[in-house]
């Protein structure tokens, strides 16, 4: 099995106050015209960000940053962020993301960090009469847009095993 590498994912949820005419909401809807019908995925160097609309006019965004594992307290993989960390995040966001997304990031209350661990791909997906499929074969976070390709790989490996 591969080595687990820490990759701290910063996760924030912002809730629309109900003002459809706010500058932030109008800017987001203009920049992301299909919001509510799809998931927007931004890639950066060592980072990526996901934005999508939930029910009741709520926006969910997740910013993944490859970085060393933060100091965690207890058994939780979730931690609150300090005001200093928030200010640093806002500066970093301005360097990487479009202004409309930066505005949503800055208006998000109570951000937190979830530590996410990445693993190297498995070298083998089957042994004798056992075939790994789904999450057992591909331990990734679901937003990474890999599920279709992984399903095809699962079907191909399963087909090879059944053929034997």
Q: How confident is the model at residue 142 (pLDDT cuts 50, 70, 90)?
A: low
Q: How does pLDDT run across 14-32, given as a tens digit for each residue?
A: 555 566 778 888 899 899 9
**147 Cβ partners below 8 Å, 6+ apart?**
none
- DSSP letter string, 98-162: -HHHHHHHHH--S-EEEEEEEEPPPS-SEETTEE--GGGT----GGGS-HHHHHHHHHHHHHHHH
Q: Is the model more confident about 90 or about 16?
A: 90
Domain covering 4-118: architecture: 2-Layer Sandwich (3.30)
Q: Mean pLDDT throughout 93-121?
A: 85
Residue with tokens 């890999």: 146
**Domain spans of the chain, in order of start:** 4-118, 121-163
Q: Is the pTM for the entire model greater than 0.75?
A: no
Q: What is the tally of helices (H) and strands (E) in the chain?
A: 4, 8
Residue with tokens 């990445």: 118
Answer yes or no: is pLDDT of 160 > 70.
yes
Q: Is the model more confident about 71 or about 65?
A: 65
């Amino acid at each position: 099995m591969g080595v687990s590498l820490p990759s701290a994912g910063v996760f924030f949820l912002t809730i629309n106050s109900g003002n459809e005419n706010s500058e932030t909401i109008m800017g987001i809807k203009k920049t992301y015209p299909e919001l509510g019908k799809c998931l927007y995925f931004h890639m950066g160097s060592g980072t990526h960000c996901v934005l999508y609309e939930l029910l009741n006019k709520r926006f969910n965004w997740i910013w993944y940053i490859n970085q060393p594992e933060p100091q965690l307290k207890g058994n939780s993989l979730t931690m609150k962020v300090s005001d200093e960390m928030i200010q640093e995040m806002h500066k970093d966001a301005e360097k990487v993301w479009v202004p409309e997304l930066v505005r949503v990031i800055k208006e998000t209350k109570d951000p937190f960090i979830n530590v996410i661990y990445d693993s190297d791909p498995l070298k083998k997906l089957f042994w004798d009469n056992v075939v790994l499929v789904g999450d057992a074969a591909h331990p990734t976070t679901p937003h990474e847009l890999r599920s279709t390709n992984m399903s095809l790989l699962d079907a191909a490996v399963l087909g090879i095993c059944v053929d034997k």
